[in-house]
Chains A and B, each alone.
Chain A
Amino acid sequence: MNPVLAAERLGRILPGEAPVTLVRDIDLKVERGEFLAIMGPSGSGKSSLLYLLGLLDTPTSGRVLLEGRDTSGYGEDELAATRLRHLGFVFQFHFLLAEFTVLDNVQLPMRRLGALSEEAAQQRAQQLLDQFGLSEHGHKHPHQLSGGQRQRVAIARALANEPPIILADEPTGNLDSHASANVRQILHDLTRAMGKTVIVVTHDPSFASAADRRIGIVDGQIDPDWRA
């Protein structure tokens, strides 16, 4: 069976007078249902790798394979459609849309996809909120929630269109230890109970130990000897 996500000799150089290498020669296979932690020192290229894996950025060399399909020839339309259906992002700063209620934020990807009716989308959003202990907060605005609650809303939103892959960039970087543990548990459960593939960039050692596998990035490359 194909790995759900694979990188082959993936490289990304920022062009310019003094080109900057963000990522170089990354070979990586991620299995379905795997919980993978990407670690490494600050500025080593972890976020850059995650953007490449999530088809938000275009590699300058190598390629990303999603469920066996080569994405290097994808145009703007296919990239957007793939992000919409197959990938869910969670960032360190939750990036909820401030003017929308929590419930509306979770519905955004569903309404863009348009596969569900408005009522069905609303129902599903409410279910996701229920699942993450946010039943009461659907009609609040993001600024009325705590950091941990907001991050759970962001996870609910990432799951809206039932993507097989969740990409998270330091999702607990901004949270206290209690909220961190909660988010970590949720992400862990996604792989176990729902069969999602979760790739997390993290500095948090307890996060890393919960993962199925850890890789270390140093200077834009996978460092096989890396230990947290």
Chain B
Amino acid sequence: MSIQLAIAVTQLVSRRRPTLVSLVGIALGVAFFLAVSSLMRGSEQDFIKRLIDNSPHITVSDEYRNPEKQPAWQQWPNGAVEIRRVKPLTEVRGIRGHIQKLAFIESLPGLRAAPVLVGSVVLTFAGRIEGVTLNGMVPDKMKGVSTIEEKLIHGSLDALAANPNGIVIGDGLAKKFGLEMGSVVNASSPGGEVRTLKVVGVFRTGNANYDESQTFVLLKRAQGLLDRANRVNRFILQLDDPYAAREVAAVIEQQGGYKAVSWQEAAEDIMSVLLVRNLIMYSVVSAILVVASFGIYNTISTIVMEKIHDIAILISMGFHARDIRHIFLAEGLILGILGSLMGVTFGIGLMWLLTQVEIKPPGATDIVHLPIYWGWEQYLLAASFALISAVGAAYLPARKAGRVQPVMILRGMA
């Protein structure tokens, strides 16, 4: 052990009370830092997990991010004359070559994809009329990409396979229309097609809007009803690693040309709110640590004042001003390290206590536990911030100690 460190340790040990008080200050700061951070990050993760579970990881739709130019413009991009009144080429709605495109997507590793034809229809039942979204899908594929199957409270998706005229609706819509399993509704498309469909399943996601507006039928039935034979206008993808969605979406978009939106992109506004929330949270808990480091400043300043004669004698002995500074910086470092260790231990205890808290959200029936995030980087963040504050707090007294003029002190004593 270097002599500077030995002196630092000795000075701290011989001043147990102020040393302990400043240690407890830092430890409490680190513990609160961890408790708040784990709670905020935990709820954030909980939220993102719901987002990931309940929405497609990637949605490929029949839109382009940058609409293609008309053929005449493609042929002569910078023509000197513009021919007016060229009849624009009408794009047939839907994903072109969807069989091949889906095959390509399915060839990518770690994902499942389902083709969907989405359109609007009007449901009529017992004189009530309601516009809803019709999702035409293939039940076997849909199960791989959506949690809708788990959300069914009556019936099943497989019932659709058995009954081509079946429809699965949300319980919000069922209540609104007074529908039950086996009820028959009329669905009419904007194109004038009308079909009679039988309710073979009811789901409840908990999202009122979704439960009132979404309906599911077989892909073939939707294609017939919407008069879009053999077309789909959407692929829904689920990934083994949801966090790869951005990259995978980029690959798919590049290959297929159609717009592929990852869940991150779809939830960008929410993600940036979460980011701001984290920034605020970390500023506040860091401020707590800065306040806690005043204890260290106080302790080390006191030592410098009390030990000013020792400092003078050390300098007369041949210690450099730098050595003197190092002694007091080392004291800050020691307090920071010990305080962080204590704080992390204490913080983990607090976090465990938080996991034991049971809450019953209003309206919910189940008791839930607070979501706590255990990620290691929080400990690193809290400990390094505590260390930086501690050394920062030691810096001013250390600098003062390094500037001690031994002769002034010795004269005072003589």
Q: What distance in Å separates the Cβ of A97 from its nearest Cβ neighbour in chain B?
A: 5
B3 touches A89 (CB 8 A): no
B14 touches A109 (CB 8 A): no
When chains A and B are docked, how far (Å) is the Cα of A157 from the Cα of B317?
Answer: 9
When chains A and B are docked, how far (Å) is the Cα of A87 from the Cα of B315?
Answer: 12
A57 touches B407 (CB 8 A): yes
Interface string of A93-124 (1 = CB under 8 A from B): 10101111000000011011100000000000
When chains A and B are docked, how far (Å) is the Cα of A170 from the Cα of B312?
Answer: 17
A108 touches B317 (CB 8 A): yes
A100 touches B317 (CB 8 A): no
B410 touches A91 (CB 8 A): yes
The count of chain B contact residues (Cβ–Cβ below 8 Å) is 27
- From A57, A92, A109, A169, B317 is in contact (CB under 8 Å) with A109
- Would you call A176 an interface residue if the criterion is a C-beta within 8 Å of the partner chain's C-beta atoms? no
- Would you call B70 an interface residue if the criterion is a C-beta within 8 Å of the partner chain's C-beta atoms? no
State which of A61-69, A73-81, A213-221 sits at the interface with chain B: A73-81
Q: What distance in Å separates the Cβ of A130 from its nearest Cβ neighbour in chain B?
A: 22
- From B313, B318, B410, A51 is in contact (CB under 8 Å) with B410
Q: For B410, what are the chain A residues with a Cβ–Cβ distance below 8 Å? A: 47, 51, 56, 91, 169
B317 touches A170 (CB 8 A): no
Q: For A81, what are the chain B residues with a Cβ–Cβ distance below 8 Å? A: 318
Q: What distance in Å separates the Cβ of A41 from its nearest Cβ neighbour in chain B?
A: 14
- Would you call A164 an interface residue if the criterion is a C-beta within 8 Å of the partner chain's C-beta atoms? no
- From B312, B318, B414, A85 is in contact (CB under 8 Å) with B318
- From B312, B316, B414, A54 is in contact (CB under 8 Å) with B316
A100 touches B320 (CB 8 A): no
- Would you call A83 an interface residue if the criterion is a C-beta within 8 Å of the partner chain's C-beta atoms? yes
Q: For A48, what are the chain B residues with a Cβ–Cβ distance below 8 Å? A: 411
Q: For B312, what are the chain A residues with a Cβ–Cβ distance below 8 Å? A: 95
- Would you call B6 an interface residue if the criterion is a C-beta within 8 Å of the partner chain's C-beta atoms? yes
When chains A and B are docked, how far (Å) is the Cα of A99 from the Cα of B312?
Answer: 16
B313 touches A80 (CB 8 A): no
- Would you call B310 an interface residue if the criterion is a C-beta within 8 Å of the partner chain's C-beta atoms? yes
B309 touches A80 (CB 8 A): no
CB nearest neighbor in A for B309? A95
B313 touches A112 (CB 8 A): no
When chains A and B are docked, how far (Å) is the Cα of A211 from the Cα of B310?
Answer: 30
B320 touches A80 (CB 8 A): yes
- From B310, B319, B320, B414, A170 is in contact (CB under 8 Å) with B414
- Would you call A179 an interface residue if the criterion is a C-beta within 8 Å of the partner chain's C-beta atoms? no
Q: What distance in Å separates the Cβ of A165 from its nearest Cβ neighbour in chain B?
A: 13
Q: For A56, what are the chain B residues with a Cβ–Cβ distance below 8 Å? A: 315-316, 406-407, 410
A112 touches B319 (CB 8 A): yes
Residues of B358-410 at the interface with A, using a CB-CB cut-off of 8 Å, are: 406-407, 410
Interface string of A116-140 (1 = CB under 8 A from B): 0000000000000000000000000
B10 touches A100 (CB 8 A): yes
- Would you call B11 an interface residue if the criterion is a C-beta within 8 Å of the partner chain's C-beta atoms? yes
Q: For B317, what are the chain A residues with a Cβ–Cβ distance below 8 Å? A: 83-84, 89, 108-109, 112, 157
A83 touches B316 (CB 8 A): yes
B320 touches A76 (CB 8 A): yes
When chains A and B are docked, how far (Å) is the Cα of A208 from the Cα of B10?
Answer: 40
Q: For A100, what are the chain B residues with a Cβ–Cβ distance below 8 Å? A: 10
B414 touches A169 (CB 8 A): yes
- From B7, B313, B319, A95 is in contact (CB under 8 Å) with B313
Given contacts A80-B319, A99-B14, contact A108 B414 (CB under 8 A): no
- From B13, B309, B314, B320, A108 is in contact (CB under 8 Å) with B314
CB nearest neighbor in B for A87? B318
Q: What distance in Å separates the Cβ of B313 from its nearest Cβ neighbour in chain A?
A: 4
Interface string of B107-137 (1 = CB under 8 A from A): 0000000000000000000000000000000
A112 touches B3 (CB 8 A): yes
B320 touches A89 (CB 8 A): no
Given contacts A57-B407, A92-B414, contact A112 B318 (CB under 8 A): yes
Best-surrounded residue of B10, B310, B318 (most CB of chain A within 10 A) = B318
Residues of B33-89 at the interface with A, using a CB-CB cut-off of 8 Å, are: none
Q: For B406, what are the chain A residues with a Cβ–Cβ distance below 8 Å? A: 56
Q: For A83, what are the chain B residues with a Cβ–Cβ distance below 8 Å? A: 315-318
Residues of B276-306 at the interface with A, using a CB-CB cut-off of 8 Å, are: none
CB nearest neighbor in A for B411? A47
A91 touches B413 (CB 8 A): yes
- Would you call B211 an interface residue if the criterion is a C-beta within 8 Å of the partner chain's C-beta atoms? no
B319 touches A97 (CB 8 A): no
B310 touches A97 (CB 8 A): yes
A112 touches B316 (CB 8 A): no
A112 touches B323 (CB 8 A): yes
Q: What distance in Å separates the Cβ of A54 from its nearest Cβ neighbour in chain B?
A: 7
Q: What distance in Å separates the Cβ of B110 from its nearest Cβ neighbour in chain A?
A: 59
- Would you call B354 an interface residue if the criterion is a C-beta within 8 Å of the partner chain's C-beta atoms? no
When chains A and B are docked, how far (Å) is the Cα of A85 from the Cα of B318?
Answer: 8
Residues of B151-202 at the interface with A, using a CB-CB cut-off of 8 Å, are: none
A-B contact pairs, 14 of them (CB 8 A): A47-B411, A56-B410, A57-B407, A80-B321, A84-B318, A87-B318, A89-B316, A95-B310, A97-B10, A99-B14, A100-B10, A111-B6, A113-B318, A161-B318
The 3 closest A-B pairs by CB, nearest first: A84-B318, A111-B3, A83-B318
- B interface with A by C-beta (< 8 Å): 2-3, 6-7, 10-11, 13-14, 309-310, 312-321, 323, 406-407, 410-411, 413-414
